[in-house]
Amino acid sequence: MNHFDYRGGILCAEDVPLPEIARAVGTPFYCYSTATLERHYRVFEAAMPPGTLVAYAVKANGNLSVIKTLAKLGAGADIVSVGELQRVMAGGVPPSKIVFSGVGKKRAEIAAALDAGIFQFNVESEPELDVINEIALAKGQRAAVALRINPDVDARTHAKISTGKAENKFGIGWSRAQAAYAYAAKLPGLDVAGVAVHIGSQITELEPFRQTFSKVADLVRILRAAGHKISRVDLGGGLGVPYKTGMAPPDPSSYGELVRAAVDGLDVQLTVEPGRLITANAGVLIAEVIYVKQGDEKAFVILDAGMNDLIRPAMYEAWHDIVPVRQPAQGVQRRVYDVVGPVCESADLFARDRELPALSAGDLVAILSTGAYGAVQASGYNARPLAPEILVRGRQFAVTRPRESVEETIARERWPEWLA
Ligand code: LLP
């Protein structure tokens, strides 16, 4: 459920008509809904066992106002870089609720996280154990770690966002897990507190989670039997969202039941790391139709948003619903279009052969469910400045990140002496 609806024939974000924002900031722009963010967070948290640390995976949407909105509800954060550490701290997430994931943490990043006093490192390799141990000892600290295990489970999602198969770079191989814990236990700079997993993203069935969680529970028992004091479990993120009308991924409550069943009787501090579920349907990307062009084989709707603004369709063959901001009249003519951007790549395609109400130049369209992995994955390709991010709350809206200017991007560069 979200708070983007037609009112009086105009698509609104909560109580704000989207054309009003377009007039104020131009297009394209991202627009997020506070009520939707809050609702998603609350529904998800309520589905978890009491006391669960809901560490929002900030990679999904790192906008400071989005982070702060969630932090105010009690969210923690799952981070993967020192940049995300700085952002979530700026957004008000207490360090005691921060989990540091990722396969390639650098020394400076580990040191910064230790200085901040984060909750836990999710460690993905034996060499990383050594480095965290060394840095913690040098600081006279013990770092709380969980070992992220690769359970070799097929998440049955797009190959580029599947992380729990043995062939993926993530986690410590299932067959090496016990040895890795034995090794970690000997490192005096580490407090080996937990087991972590994360098998992928946009997962639309419960079965892969079920298999994974039961492997985790088994491992906790095996490790305890071997004398390890395992007091924490981190089950990662990955629950999918409906991108298409009619699509019905498992709801948070059935996912929650699975989680409860998995940790039942284990007596552990539980962490989960949802990203997409919280933010995807809380955001839209608004673009203007520049041209409608009839080709020899196809009709193209050319938008002023491109793959640099939203790379998901090009990168993961992702489907996003696209709707006109002005509600089409009943019985309006429908046409089949390729909806594309202005970027000079054939991959700059938001939707192929999409049936839509007839569109014309100047119309605004909304690309839906773009609150996760949208703005965060944007680039300046084709010297296209980053689009602004707007946050709506009721009848108010705020420009939380203004449109980047080309002048700013030019000013950041330096001439080499021989060209100056
Ligand atoms: N925890 C870890 C360790 C992760 O790597 C991720 C996502 C999450 C949690 C959050 O997963 P979520 O609940 O959002 O599924 N750019 C891709 C998605 C990449 C996901 C990367 N890791 C996309 O646009 O589909």
> Rounded distance, CA 305 to CA 127, Å?
42
Answer whether residue 41 is part of any domain. no
Answer whether residue 117 is part of any domain. yes
Give me ligand 1 centre to Cα 231, in Å. Answer: 25
Question: Do 164 and 129 share a structural domain?
Answer: yes
Q: Name residues whose C-beta falls within 8 Å of residue 379's C-beta, 6 or more positions apart in sequence.
A: 308, 311
So what's the pLDDT on residue 107?
98
Atom of ligand 1 nearest to the CA of 273: 9
- Which residues form the pocket of ligand 1, taking CB atoms under 6 Å from any ligand atom? 57, 59-60, 78, 101, 161, 198, 201-202, 236-239, 273-277, 312, 316, 373
Answer whether residue 84 is part of any domain. no
So what's the pLDDT on residue 17?
98
Residue 301 near residue 307, CB atoms below 8 Å: no
User: Average pLDDT by consecutive 10-residue portion of the chain (420 residues)?
Assistant: 95 98 98 98 98 98 98 98 98 98 98 98 98 98 98 91 91 96 98 97 97 97 98 98 92 97 96 98 98 97 98 98 96 96 97 98 98 98 98 98 97 97
Question: Do 264 and 313 share a structural domain?
Answer: no
Give me ligand 1 centre to Cα 163, in Å. Answer: 9
Atom of ligand 1 nearest to the CA of 163: 5
So what's the pLDDT on residue 246?
86
The DSSP secondary-structure symbol of 325 reads S
SS3 state of residue 291? strand
Question: Do 313 and 181 share a structural domain?
Answer: no
Ramachandran class of 318: left when φ > 0, alpha when ψ lies in -120 to 50, beta otherwise: beta
Question: Do 258 and 338 share a structural domain?
Answer: no
Question: Do 354 and 406 share a structural domain?
Answer: yes
Domain-ending residue, one of 272, 299, 326? 272
Domain-ending residue, one of 248, 272, 296? 272
Residues with catalytic roles: 344
Both structure tokens of 219: 């491992």
Our CA angle for 316, 317, 321, nearest 5°, is 115
Question: Do 110 and 259 share a structural domain?
Answer: yes
Domain-ending residue, one of 272, 297, 326? 272
Question: Do 216 and 356 share a structural domain?
Answer: no
Partners of 271 in the beta sheet? 53, 234
Give me ligand 1 centre to Cα 161, in Å. Answer: 7
Strand-strand pairing, 190-196 and 232-234: parallel
Indicate which CATH number applies to the domain containing 312. 2.40.37.10
Residue nearest atom 23 in ligand 1 by C-alpha distance: 373
So what's the pLDDT on residue 153?
92
Give me ligand 1 centre to Cα 330, in Å. Answer: 39
Cα-based torsion angle of the residue sequence 285, 287, 293, 297 in order, rounded to the nearest 10 degrees: 0
> Rounded distance, CA 121 to CA 86, Å?
16
Question: Do 262 and 287 share a structural domain?
Answer: no
What pTM value is reported for the model? 0.98
So what's the pLDDT on residue 251?
95
Indicate which CATH number applies to the domain containing 171. 3.20.20.10
The DSSP secondary-structure symbol of 165 reads S
Answer whether residue 111 is part of any domain. yes
Answer whether residue 49 is part of any domain. no
Question: Do 195 and 291 share a structural domain?
Answer: no
Answer whether residue 147 is part of any domain. yes
Domain assignment of residue 21, given as a range = 4-31+280-411
Question: Do 298 and 255 share a structural domain?
Answer: no
Question: Do 375 and 305 share a structural domain?
Answer: yes
Burial profile 315-343: b = 16 or more Cβ within 10 angstroms, e = fewer: ebebbbbbbbbbbbeeeeeeeebbbbbbb
Give me ligand 1 centre to Cα 96, in Å. Answer: 22
Question: Do 391 and 342 share a structural domain?
Answer: yes
Both structure tokens of 270: 């539980």
So what's the pLDDT on residue 245?
84
Residue 276, H or E segment: helix 276-279
SS3 state of residue 137? helix
> Rounded distance, CA 4 to CA 31, Å?
10
Answer whether residue 402 is part of any domain. yes
What's the structural domain count of the chain?
Answer: 2
Answer whether residue 367 is part of any domain. yes
> Rounded distance, CA 200 to CA 159, Å?
9
